[in-house]
Amino acid sequence: MKPLVSIIMGSTSDLPVMEKACKWLNDNQIPFEVNALSAHRTPDAVEAFAKGAKERGVKVIIAAAGMAAALPGVIAASTPLPVIGVPIKGMLDGLDAMLSIIQMPPGIPVATVGVNAAQNAAILAAEMIALADEDVAAKVEAWKAGLGAKIEKANQDLAAIKDYAYKTN
């Protein structure tokens, strides 16, 4: 089975955040791979990774990094595939990483999700793949339908609370 999504992080210290992306993709049976390579410490390996991703069957790359967060941009410069950047929270609450990822030069786009928003990155990757893959589209649609059901139940539970004298619903 070839990976449709490639998750790459600057180091394994980012894994506790990126596990949310792994879990979402796994739960929705979307094949993925996970790697740790550094734009600063292993630049040649990062370039080789990015250049070989399409050949491996990858459709979207999720790249996570903190601090200077060069990894998503370096990958985007070396591949025709879409890259989603996940800023990792650090000493400046992830603001440094987020600004590094969203402020890319012209011609090197990186889609960016919120700080530590690995699950949203996985969902966005699946939505991109769903444009050309009906099986993945059905999985995304089913997952989103489940979200609606959870909110509807929560709303019913709130309506059932009778502990407040001035609550009107």
Print pLDDT tens along the chain (169 aa). 999 999 999 999 999 999 999 999 999 999 999 999 999 999 999 999 999 999 999 999 999 999 989 999 999 999 999 999 999 999 899 999 999 999 999 999 999 999 999 999 999 999 999 999 999 999 999 999 999 888 899 999 999 998 888 878 8
| Closest to 72 (Cα-Cα) out of 117, 115, 108, 21 | 108
Tokens 């709303």 found at: 155
Question: Cα–Cα distances in Å, from 84 out to 1, 98, 139?
Answer: 22, 12, 20
Name residue 165's amino acid: A
Structure tokens at 150: 């959870």
Whether residue 100 is annotated as binding a ligand: the answer is no
Whether residue 78 is annotated as binding a ligand: the answer is no
- Residue ranges per domain, the chain? 5-133
Count CB-CB contacts under 10 A for residue 160. Answer: 8
Q: Which pLDDT value is given to residue 167?
A: 76
Q: What is the CATH number of domain 5-133?
A: 3.40.50.1970
- The three-state secondary structure class of 60 is strand
pTM of the model: 0.92
Whether residue 38 is annotated as binding a ligand: the answer is no
